Amino acid sequence: MGRIILVSNRVADISKAAQAGGMAVALADTLRSREGLWFGWNGRISDRRSEQITTPDISHINNTTIATLPLSSREHEGYYTGYSNNVLWPVFHARLDIAQFESGHFERYLAVNRRFAQALHPLLKPDDTIWVHDYHLIPLALELRKLGVKNPIGFFLHIPVPPAQIFLAIPEHRELARGLAAYDLVGLQTKIDVGNLIDYLQDGAFGQILKDGRIRAFDREMAIASFPVGIDVEGFVGQRARQTRDRSPGIARIIGVDRLDYTKGLPQKFRAFSRFLAQNADYRGKVVLSQIAPPTRESVSAYADIRNELETLSGSINGRFGELDWVPIHYIHRSAPRRTLVDIYRSSRVGLVTPLRDGMNLVAKEYIAAQNPHDPGVLILSRFAGAAEQLKDALIVNPYDIDEMATAIKTALEMPLEERQEHYDSLIDGIKRQDTFMWCRSFLQALERLGRRGTLAVPR
Ligand code: GDG
């Protein structure tokens, strides 16, 4: 069996994958069972000379080779902040209003992808299978094909695909589509994403569906399918540090854990909790919303705006409803250690996961995995999280409908034990079945099967 080549913007420290969580665990596990190489940015920003570097730093952990490159500050600004985080992230989350289409950023984005391809190319062997991750690296396969690489190359997008009319608004959408067509397999989180990408390719007249379901675009054939990301249930729950002391007996906790990102619907969540308190005076003093929201991408201005909005909102809600011995919203703008998350989830009556749009959302799955099967809490989940396609037995809400969310909070807090167990049993079953290992295995099997069918023509 050939090697697996993983390519992602950042290379996770596989020796600490369990702490990093989620995807890093699955990928590290794949690399443990099979010889492999993980290639990407080393997280460092150095001077302009690094733009010439095409020889990566190499290190080894067991049977995995780690190959990394630095970015120059100009590349970081154009490729990472400018194009990946100020164009692709907002537009793919349907936020055209905050996308910043600035000239020069796409060129930097392409140039970094080209340099990555040049650096990866000499490290490749003919029977390697290449798996590229996420929106930072859409053009990578095309750049590798231009260098003559014929190996199977798969791509997995961790974020949603927007509806065609939104995708078409990206000035460089055609180049992105051409980039996607250089892969043999494009994996997406949900069936809705698959439908959106196929619609876009058809609306843009780039793609045509073949009889076997594959898509012909830009003189190549590719498959597009959904592979929902899962979690490592046992690995996650097994990290449980200790039973934490119940610091507020008699107070029910609602938990939220989200990077402080404008896609996560945090203001809507706070408003819904406020509405719930306004409508249910008898719950005041008896319930708290604990929101862990670690900082992320602080160099992007939209992230500073959402931080200010939340600080104002939590302050005003606490000022309006709080008592000397009770604060309704515990808002923590720091990262919690991973091993404490299991206990925090488990001791919370309600998991409140209300993104406005989310590729999957692993917090929803982690919350369920952490529950006590004999007395489980209730998950409230946005219909716009990819996870809603699988977790149909959660209380599904529209995060734009504050009244509906306030009502769901009450329903969740008052749900009888038997009903909670029914929801939990069905949810945990799906989460265990479609776990992170299945995600990895099924994607790689599909990619390697397609590779064997000889669909690897080089695009013009
Ligand atoms: C992207 C897509 C998709 C969060 N706060 C803390 C912390 N976390 C951990 C969670 C979870 C992970 O980070 C977040 O994963 P999500 O899936 O919720 O969201 P994104 O970061 O936006 O991830 C998403 C995912 O990729 C995978 O494909 O599901 O849709 O946007 O594991 O537990 N971990 C620690 N402290 C924190 O404060 N230790």
| Residue 95, token pair as written in the block | 């936020």
Pocket of ligand 1 contains residue 21 by CB under 6 Å = yes
pLDDT at residue 244 is higher than 80: no
Confidence of residue 34 (pLDDT cuts 50, 70, 90): confident
Which one from 158, 193, 423, 435 is the annotated catalytic residue? 158
pLDDT at residue 15 is higher than 90: no
Q: Each residue of 363-410: pLDDT tens digit?
A: 999 999 999 999 999 999 999 999 999 999 999 999 999 999 999 999
CB 5 within 8 A of CB 134: no
pLDDT at 215: 93
109-138: string of b/e by CB count within 10 Å (b at 16+)?
bbbbbbbbbbbbeebbeeebbbbbbbbbbb
pLDDT at 156: 98
Looking at 300-309, 324-333, 352-361, 405-414, which range is the least confident one? 300-309
Confidence of residue 71 (pLDDT cuts 50, 70, 90): very high
Mean pLDDT value across the chain: 92
> Is beta strand 252-257 parallel, antiparallel or unpaired with respect to 287-292?
parallel
Q: Ligand 1, closest atom to CA 158?
A: 28
pLDDT at residue 456 is higher than 50: no
pLDDT at residue 25 is higher than 80: no
Pocket of ligand 1 contains residue 341 by CB under 6 Å = yes
Residue 70 Cα to ligand 1 middle (Å)? 25
pLDDT at residue 194 is higher than 60: yes
In percent, the amount of the chain with pLDDT more than 90 equals 80
Q: Sign of dihedral through CA atoms 297, 431, 235, 133?
A: negative
pLDDT at 61: 86
Pocket of ligand 1 contains residue 23 by CB under 6 Å = yes
Residue 452 Cα to ligand 1 middle (Å)? 34
Residue 358 Cα to ligand 1 middle (Å)? 10
Q: Ligand 1, closest atom to CA 358?
A: 30
pLDDT at residue 18 is higher than 60: no
CB 239 within 8 A of CB 346: no
258 classed as catalytic? no
Which one from 258, 261, 358, 393 is the annotated catalytic residue? 358
**CA R_g for the chain:** 23
Residue nearest to atom 27 of ligand 1 (CA): 158
The single-letter DSSP state of residue 395 is: E
Pocket of ligand 1 contains residue 235 by CB under 6 Å = no
Closest by Cα among 347, 316, 314, 318 to 332 = 314
pLDDT at residue 344 is higher than 60: yes
CB 310 within 8 A of CB 258: no
From 332, 363, 384, 436, the mutation candidate for ligand 1 (largest count of ligand atoms within 8 A of CB) is: 363
Residue nearest to atom 39 of ligand 1 (CA): 338
Looking at the DSSP assignment, which residues form a beta bridge with residue 185?
Answer: 154, 223
pLDDT at 16: 67
Pocket of ligand 1 contains residue 257 by CB under 6 Å = yes
Q: For each of the domains in the chain, give its residue range(s) and CATH number, in order of start.
A: 4-226 (3.40.50.2000), 238-433 (3.40.50.2000)
More confident residue, 16 or 410: 410
Query: What is the value of pTM for the model shown?
Result: 0.95
pLDDT at residue 17 is higher than 90: no
Confidence of residue 250 (pLDDT cuts 50, 70, 90): confident
Confidence of residue 277 (pLDDT cuts 50, 70, 90): very high
Q: Ligand 1, closest atom to CA 340?
A: 39
pLDDT at residue 455 is higher than 60: no
Pocket of ligand 1 contains residue 259 by CB under 6 Å = yes
Pocket of ligand 1 contains residue 335 by CB under 6 Å = yes
Residue 69 Cα to ligand 1 middle (Å)? 25
pLDDT at 254: 98
pLDDT at residue 305 is higher than 80: yes
Residue nearest to atom 38 of ligand 1 (CA): 335
Residue 190 Cα to ligand 1 middle (Å)? 17
Residue 366 Cα to ligand 1 middle (Å)? 10
Q: E-strand spans in 314-382?
A: 329-332, 350-353, 378-382
From 131, 155, 362, 439, the mutation candidate for ligand 1 (largest count of ligand atoms within 8 A of CB) is: 362
158 classed as catalytic? yes
pLDDT at 351: 98
Residue nearest to atom 23 of ligand 1 (CA): 361
Cβ within 8 Å of residue 240, ≥6 positions away: 339, 342, 343, 346, 370
pLDDT at residue 158 is higher than 70: yes
Q: Ligand 1, closest atom to CA 386?
A: 30
Q: What is the mean predicted confidence (pLDDT) over 282-311?
A: 92
Pocket of ligand 1 contains residue 229 by CB under 6 Å = yes
From 360, 366, 390, 434, the mutation candidate for ligand 1 (largest count of ligand atoms within 8 A of CB) is: 360
pLDDT at residue 95 is higher than 60: yes
Q: What is the mean predicted confidence (pLDDT) over 406-433?
A: 98
pLDDT at 454: 52
Closest by Cα among 241, 341, 242, 352 to 288 = 352
